[in-house]
């Protein structure tokens, strides 16, 4: 593959709250290659959404602030860009879809108009007709039935799943190189979830768009992603191609996660092995491995120093653990 | 739903028997505030729950599963139909008698944040049902509360704390302690883990299973997550648009679903295994769930069903025993 | 699942659980599975004690907000000003009347400060004076002490405000909760009545009441000891008239909030626990109305 599309190096995004500094993302590094689908999994508060918002430079300041690191997109550091350059970048090069399809669309404009607007913002020379044609074409691509007619409908006339597909249409309308999808199916039912995921992965393959898919659902990851980052307490604790994550998980947290979810294909009567305890309070200083208090394999060393991501001897797989599986 | 379901003699005794349950919410409109339409949230549900089992009730949002759970507990007044619980017809009980009956049937709620009054301490929350039913003096109640908290894995030391100081999983434990306080026989668990993080979900599921054996509980487990329901249930009922479309042992349901909707639902669930995922064929349903205000005629799944024939548009398929203990409401099952 | 993910991450710490509240130390031995799982968050007995000492009494929501209030410097300054005004209104006149020596008035002979520092005494040859040692804030055009009148006015304003709020809050909560909780005819009557009150100019109503019943109140009510003479009866009348036009708005706020609370899961949870309606209202609804009532009571009335 060619060089990396996105390189995140030592990203640190902190929130300065009354009760202390919350290190939501603390020293996170990863890469996305062109047309690769990267999954980021973790529980709430692990920093996966903040990572996405940092890449989009959408962190609300205050209380949040990117305090360190660099985000190189196509070789340029996003963190050094000014607002105008960012606006050009967002939508045309990187676009994002959010969890809640109900509030992401403007209720007073037709969906066709909203797609056309996005297209025209980034292609100033395009005529209204061309832009409208493009939006009908996009709606058709995300499998909205009768796209020509539906382009004239307002968001409230669409169901949740269709709205999320409209969001995908808007996001992909300008052929971005990277699509950041933050829990795109969490608010949807399973049968609708499939209606959204299929066009998303299908189109990204067709257009060669790289996708950064943020989710807590390991099933979605297994079906959609090529590479997976597992995040815990603001750190990436494991990163590996999708098959290896599920077949030979190395970090105890990944192992714990996989053991704690009920699966459709499990035998009846098998029991779950939950991870005990709670994720740590990120506003407190964490010494050692953040997972140490919940880890079944914890040793003294884990409580004293923080493990770095290291290859665990299986190709591209890396894990931040002194005693990986 | 003409067909009556009878309890098979070979299994446990029936604890709850639901027949023809309907819950319609009126939509008021016009100048005179007349009822212009009805949201048919539950539209003819038949099922039974056996003593000591866990019956899973699954379906997508808006299918009426939560309303069914609430209607069984009479938290929502059923429009029609009967709910027999421990031999009493609940729909005909007086408010006073129903309040007494509440000690026997409890609920665990979905929202660990909204279901606990923010102005009550943990101790007060768990003590509330005990006080309502005068289960002892202040000291005895406090002892019971401490026991209950221990049972759900919380330290009674934190009895004076307020719910907002706890995490979602811990709050759900408080809710469970409250539900167990009166030693009920039936617990309706309405999406008890769907608001929790994956690693915490397993803790709560295991706790529920432990407690079932310990307290001899019968669960009606309402959830949209089929993997979770499969894990915890002995039998599963699948709902679509206000009706039960399939009801069977959970193993059978997952191995050999009879109703096309169940088949589509099961095929849509992602499995956390890339090997399996890459090989699986998905049945992607066209369109969305129709509005419960104007459900389609006949079998209400027919507009999305790939097997639909003329008869499906006209005749409502009854929930029938298609195979031994395996009920389905479909003209062309299998 | 984490539908609340974004919120949580952004507001960070506020949503984070207190670390390790679960302790398996005193767990039922039967539940070994659980105990094992929670071992990770175990606290030693010492740590528990330490935690207990650090936070001896857990804060109720009220204590919590009071603590926050105390930390807010501007709010505390405002509380100080209001406190000062209240003290001034209650004790000011009494103290002021004991300050200063006798005064040889050309018109009234020798008078003590109790006389010339009273709010009604007219010293007609000393009209419109500026501040002086005798009259701290000067006099008005009838030669009356301005400071004494100011403090008296303060007392009147404060007592009207308190009276109005007491009646307003009591009626507003009572009727608002009933209308919101039970709906039906109470709700309908409240809605129509509020509409009438909103449509009717409140100020006009108060003037009318004071004008029509003022004289009657003076003659009939001033006999009651606690009211007494000096136009207090009229004051009471005006307060009641004010409260009468104010409570429907309060009742509407309360009704709205009650409707919202009624939908909260903890109300349903209370009902499941066998709590009676009366108890649900008194224990779950009314305490949770506190914040809205405080806000509504302080809002300026459109009079």
Q: What is d(CA C58, CA B158) in angstroms, rounded to the nearest whole number?
A: 9
Q: Do C269 and B107 touch (CB under 8 A)?
A: yes
Q: What average pLDDT does range B112-131 have in this prediction?
A: 90
User: Quick one: pLDDT at residue B9?
Assistant: 38
With an 8 Å Cβ cutoff, are A198 and B282 in contact?
yes
Could you tell me if A268 lies within 8 Å of chain B, comparing CB atoms?
yes
Q: Where are the domains of chain A?
A: 6-254+277-315
Tokens of B307: 């097997």
Q: pLDDT digits over A196-239, tens only?
A: 888 888 888 888 889 999 998 888 888 889 999 999 999 999 99
Mean pLDDT confidence for B18-35: 83
Q: For an interface test with C, which of A28, A43, A44 has the most C Cβ atoms less than 10 Å from its Cβ? A: A44
Instruction: Please report residues of B whose CB lies closer than 8 A to that of C288.
Output: 117-119
C-alpha span between B292 and B301 (Å, rounded)? 12
Closest CA to C247 of C184, C189, C192, C301: C301
Q: What is the pLDDT of residues C239-262, one digit of tens each?
A: 888 888 888 888 888 999 999 998
- pLDDT tens track for C156-169: 888 888 888 888 88
Cβ A169 vs Cβ A135: under 8 Å: yes
Structural tokens at position B271:
């499995």
Q: Does C32 touch chain A (CB under 8 A)?
A: no
What pLDDT is recorded for position B234?
92
Q: Residue C264: its chain B contacts at CB < 8 A?
A: 114
Is residue B89 scored above 70 in pLDDT?
Answer: yes
Task: Identify which has the larger pLDDT, C266 or C5.
Answer: C266
Q: C residues 57-86 near A, CB within 8 Å?
A: none
- pLDDT higher than threshold 80 for residue B184: yes
Residue B109: predicted pLDDT: 92
Q: Which is higher by pLDDT, B331 or C30?
A: B331
Average pLDDT over residues B320-327: 90
Check CB contact under 8 Å for B132 and C273: yes
CA angle A84, A90, A92 (to 5 degrees): 110
Burial of B97 (0-12, 13-18, 19+ CB in 10 A): exposed
DSSP states of A38-86 as a string?
Answer: EEEE--TTSSHHHHHHHHTT---TTTEEEEEEEEEETTEEGGG--HHHH
User: Which has the minimum average pLDDT: A41-45, B143-147, B259-263, C37-41?
Assistant: C37-41
Q: Which of A162, A195, A219 is facing B270, going by the closest CB pair?
A: A219
Mean pLDDT over all residues of chain C? 76
Question: What is the H or E stretch that residue A212 is in?
Answer: strand A210-215
For B93-106, the pLDDT digits (tens) are 998 899 999 999 99
DSSP C68-120: HHHH-HHHHHHHHHHHHHHHHHHHHHHHHTTSS--EEETTTEEE-HHHHTSSS
Q: Crossing angle for the helix pair A83-92 and A111-122, nearest 10 degrees?
A: 120
Nearest residue to A33 (alpha-carbon basis) of A1, A63, A9 = A1
What is the distance between the alpha carbons of residues B312 and A287, in angstroms, rounded to a whole number? Answer: 64
**What is residue B31's predicted lDDT score, i.e. its pLDDT?**
67
Contacts of C271 in chain B (CB under 8 A): 75, 102
The per-residue pLDDT for C225 is 65
Asked if B129 is an interface residue toward chain C (Cβ–Cβ < 8 A), one would say yes
Q: For position A264, what pLDDT does the model report?
A: 78
CA–CA min distance C13, chain A (Å): 6
Comparing CA positions, the residue from C89, C250, C82 lying closest to residue C166 is C250
Residue C42 has pLDDT above 50, yes or no: no
Q: Does the pLDDT value for residue C46 go beyond 60?
A: no
Question: Model pTM greater than 0.95?
Answer: no
Question: Closest Cα partner for A292 from A277, A273, A314?
Answer: A277
For A123-175, write each residue's pLDDT tens digit: 878 888 888 988 998 888 888 888 888 888 888 888 778 888 888 888 888 88
Chains that touch A (3 or more CB pairs under 8 A): B, C
Among the partner-chain residues A257, A260, A264, the one whose CB lies closest to the CB of B226 is A264
Q: Does A166 contact chain B (CB < 8 Å)?
A: no
State residue C38's pLDDT score: 42
Ranges A301-315, B243-257, C224-238, most confident: B243-257
Nearest chain B residue to C39 by CA distance is B153
- Percent of chain A's residues with pLDDT above 70: 99
pLDDT tens by residue, C185-216: 888 888 888 888 888 887 888 888 888 888 88
Which domains, and CATH codes, for chain B?
Answer: 14-253 (3.40.50.300)
Region of residue B241 (left: phi > 0; alpha: psi -120 to 50; beta: else): left
Query: Which superfamily, per CATH, for A6-254+277-315?
Result: P-loop containing nucleotide triphosphate hydrolases (3.40.50.300)
Q: Report which secondary-structure segment, H or E, holds C10.
A: helix C5-11
Query: Are A260 and B288 inside 8 Å of each other by CB?
Result: no
Spatial distance between the Cα atoms of C96 and C77, rounded to a whole number of angstroms: 25
> C30 vs B214: CB contact, 8 Å cut-off?
yes
Q: How sure is the predictor about B207, in pLDDT bands with cuts at 50, 70 and 90?
A: very high
pLDDT score at B275: 83
> What residues contact residue A155 under an 8 Å CB cut-off, 6+ apart?
A105, A106, A107, A111, A163, A166
Question: How far is the CA of B60 from the CAs of A11, A156, B223, in angstroms?
Answer: 39, 20, 9
Contacts of A276 in chain B (CB under 8 A): 203
H-assigned helices in chain A: 48-55, 83-92, 111-122, 128-141, 147-150, 160-172, 190-207, 218-224, 242-247, 252-260, 300-304
- Closest CB to C34: pick one of B109, B110, B153: B153
Question: How much is the pLDDT for B131?
Answer: 92
The per-residue pLDDT for C182 is 86
Which pLDDT value is given to residue A214?
A: 92
């Amino acid at each position: 593959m060619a060089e990396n599309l996105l390189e995140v190096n030592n990203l640190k995004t902190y929130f300065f709250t009354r009760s202390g500094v919350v290190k939501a993302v603390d020293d996170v590094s990863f890469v996305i290659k062109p047309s690769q689908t990267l999954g980021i999994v973790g529980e709430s508060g692990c920093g996966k959404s903040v990572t996405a918002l940092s890449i989009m430079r959408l962190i609300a300041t205050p209380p949040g602030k990117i305090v360190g690191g660099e985000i190189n997109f196509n070789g340029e550091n996003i963190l050094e860009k000014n607002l105008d350059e960012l606006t050009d970048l967002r939508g045309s090069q990187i676009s994002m879809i959010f969890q809640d399809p109900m509030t992401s669309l403007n209720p007073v404009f037709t969906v066709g108009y909203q797609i056309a607007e996005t297209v025209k913002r980034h292609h100033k020379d395009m005529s209204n007709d061309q832009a409208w044609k493009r939006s009908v074409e996009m709606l058709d691509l995300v499998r909205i039935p009768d796209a020509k007619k539906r382009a004239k409908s307002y968001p409230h006339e669409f169901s949740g799943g269709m709205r999320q597909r409209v969001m995908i249409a808007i996001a992909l309308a300008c052929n971005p190189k990277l699509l950041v999808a933050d829990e795109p199916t969490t608010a949807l039912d399973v049968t609708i979830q499939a209606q959204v995921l299929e066009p998303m992965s299908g189109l990204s393959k067709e257009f060669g768009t790289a996708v950064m898919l943020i989710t807590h659902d390991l099933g979605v990851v297994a079906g959609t992603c090529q590479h997976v980052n597992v995040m815990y307490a603001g750190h990436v604790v494991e990163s590996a191609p999708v098959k290896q994550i599920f077949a030979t998980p190395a970090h105890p947290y990944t192992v714990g996660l996989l053991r704690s979810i009920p699966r459709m294909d499990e035998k009846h009567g098998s029991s779950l092995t939950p991870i005990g305890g709670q994720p740590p309070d990120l506003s407190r200083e964490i010494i050692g491995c953040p997972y140490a208090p919940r880890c079944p394999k914890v040793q003294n060393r884990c409580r004293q120093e923080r493990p770095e991501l290291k290859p665990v001897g299986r190709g591209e797989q890396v894990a931040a653990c002194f005693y990986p599986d | 739903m003409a067909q009556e379901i009878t309890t098979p003699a070979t299994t446990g005794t029936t604890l709850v028997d639901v027949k023809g349950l309907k819950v319609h919410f009126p939509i008021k409109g016009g100048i005179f505030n007349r009822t212009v339409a009805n949201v048919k949230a539950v539209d003819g549900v038949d099922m039974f729950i056996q003593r000591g089992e866990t019956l899973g009730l699954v379906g997508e949002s808006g299918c009426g599963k939560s309303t069914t759970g609430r209607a069984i507990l009479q938290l929502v007044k059923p429009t029609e139909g009967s709910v027999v619980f421990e031999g009493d017809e609940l729909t005909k009980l007086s408010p006073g008698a129903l309040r007494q009956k509440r000690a026997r049937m409890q609920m665990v709620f979905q929202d660990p944040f909204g279901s606990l009054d923010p102005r009550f301490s943990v101790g007060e929350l768990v003590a509330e049902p005990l006080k309502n039913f005068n289960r002892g003096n202040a000291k005895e109640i406090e002892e019971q509360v401490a026991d209950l908290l221990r049972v759900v894995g919380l330290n009674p030391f934190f009895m004076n704390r307020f719910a907002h100081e706890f995490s979602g999983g811990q709050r759900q434990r408080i809710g469970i302690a409250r539900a167990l306080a009166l030693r009920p026989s039936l617990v309706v668990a309405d999406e008890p883990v769907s608001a929790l993080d994956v690693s915490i979900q397993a803790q709560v599921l295991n706790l529920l299973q432990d407690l079932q054996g310990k307290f001899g509980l019968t669960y009606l487990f309402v959830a949209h997550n089929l993997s979770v329901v499969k894990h915890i249930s002995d039998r599963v009922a699948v709902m679509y648009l206000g009706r039960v479309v399939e009801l069977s042992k959970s193993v059978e349901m997952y191995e050999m679903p009879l109703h096309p909707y169940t088949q589509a639902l099961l095929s849509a669930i992602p499995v956390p295994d890339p090997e399996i995922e890459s090989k699986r064929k998905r049945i992607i349903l066209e369109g969305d769930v129709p509005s419960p205000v104007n459900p389609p005629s006949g079998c209400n799944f027919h507009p999305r069903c790939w097997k639909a024939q003329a008869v499906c548009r006209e005749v409502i398929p009854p929930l029938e025993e298609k195979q031994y203990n395996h009920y389905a409401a479909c003209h062309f099952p299998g | 699942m984490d539908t609340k993910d974004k919120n949580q991450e952004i507001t960070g710490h506020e949503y984070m659980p207190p670390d390790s509240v679960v302790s398996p130390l005193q767990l039922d031995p039967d539940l070994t599975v659980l105990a094992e799982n929670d071992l990770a968050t175990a606290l030693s007995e010492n740590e528990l004690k330490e935690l207990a000492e650090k936070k001896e009494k857990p804060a109720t929501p009220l204590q919590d907000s009071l603590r926050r209030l105390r930390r807010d410097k501007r709010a505390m300054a405002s509380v100080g000003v209001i406190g000062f005004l209240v003290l001034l209104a209650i004790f000011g006149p009494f103290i002021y009347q004991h300050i200063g020596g006798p005064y040889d008035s050309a018109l009234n002979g020798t008078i003590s400060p109790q006389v010339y520092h009273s709010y009604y005494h007219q010293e007609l040859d000393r009209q419109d004076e500026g501040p002086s040692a005798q009259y701290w804030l000067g006099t008005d055009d009838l030669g009356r002490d301005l400071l004494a009148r100011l403090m008296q006015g303060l007392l009147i304003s404060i007592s009207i405000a308190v009276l109005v709020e007491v009646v307003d809050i009591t009626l507003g909560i009572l009727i608002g909760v009933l209308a919101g909780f039970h709906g039906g005819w109470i709700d309908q009557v409240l809605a129509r009545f509020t509409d009438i009150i909103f449509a009717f100019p409140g100020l006009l109503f108060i003037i009318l009441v004071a004008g029509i019943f003022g004289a009657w109140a003076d003659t009939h009510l001033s006999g009651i000891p606690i009211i007494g003479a000096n136009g207090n009866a009229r004051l009471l009348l005006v307060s009641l008239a004010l409260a009468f036009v104010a409570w429907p708005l309060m009742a509407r706020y309360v009704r709205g909030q009650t409707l919202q609370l009624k939908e909260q899961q903890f109300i349903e949870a209370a009902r499941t626990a066998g709590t009676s309606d009366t108890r649900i209202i008194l224990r779950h609804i009314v305490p949770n109305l506190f914040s809205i009532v405080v806000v509504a009571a302080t809002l300026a009335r459109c009079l």
